[in-house]
Structure 1
Amino acid sequence: MQHIRVTAAIIVDNGRILATQRHDHDATGGKWEFPGGKIEPGETPEACLRRELREELDVDAEIGELFMETTHAYPSKTVELLVYRAAIRAGTIVLHAHQAHRWMMIDELGQLDWLAADWPIVTKIQSDFIEH
């Protein structure tokens, strides 16, 4: 089974978190995810996330601390997610790899149809930010 290392960003702005929706024609079309992507050989996770946010959203981001790591086994591959806090420093979101985006309040995140690998991130965000 293929093992893929990917990054994801938790981007917070005015108490809301950015969620992006995959194109309907993708294998997991219509599902929501935290933006990010595959780590290329020789690339650090932070450099990957900066590159992916530039490519996918047309923004320059500052990558902060590692928020969590999670692994999910899909039928055809295993995805290891390295999730970082991030902030948009320059640019306005232009979607290049998604069909939609939403800024969601933390307690609203559970309303979206997330990719299976992203659900643990939603759960941790809600427990870390709501309970404390």
Structure 2
Amino acid sequence: MPSRAPRACGLCGGIHAYGSRCPKAVERHKERKAVSDKKRPSSKARGYTAEWTRESKAFLAVYSSCRRCGRQATLVDHIKPHKGDKALFWDRRNWQPLCTPCHSGAKQSQERRSPER
């Protein structure tokens, strides 16, 4: 089966096989992510405390299937991002059970595309 042609990198000027990433681009991405992570409050500061852990486990005991794919749910996701709003954070109508792949993949991608960020 034929593969796509190699491509010229706009960052380093080198030629890279289709599907591979330029080492400079990878490093640049890591640096950008590190800067972003330093600005982000800790999980505790965002409301994910022992109380959240207890309540989310209780929620998953009742709603154990992922809302998107039907697999075993492992996380409680906020349907509408709470963005620090404690009332929305604790509103169970805003919670949904998701498996890790659905939460980390499709849901995060959807939130990045959402205009109301």
Smaller-chain TM-score range?
under 0.3
Between the two structures, name the one with larger relative contact order (CA 8 Å, sep ≥ 6).
Answer: 1
- Which is richer in strand? 1
TM-score, normalization by structure 1? 0.25
- In terms of fraction of residues, the more helix-rich structure is 2
Larger Rg: 2
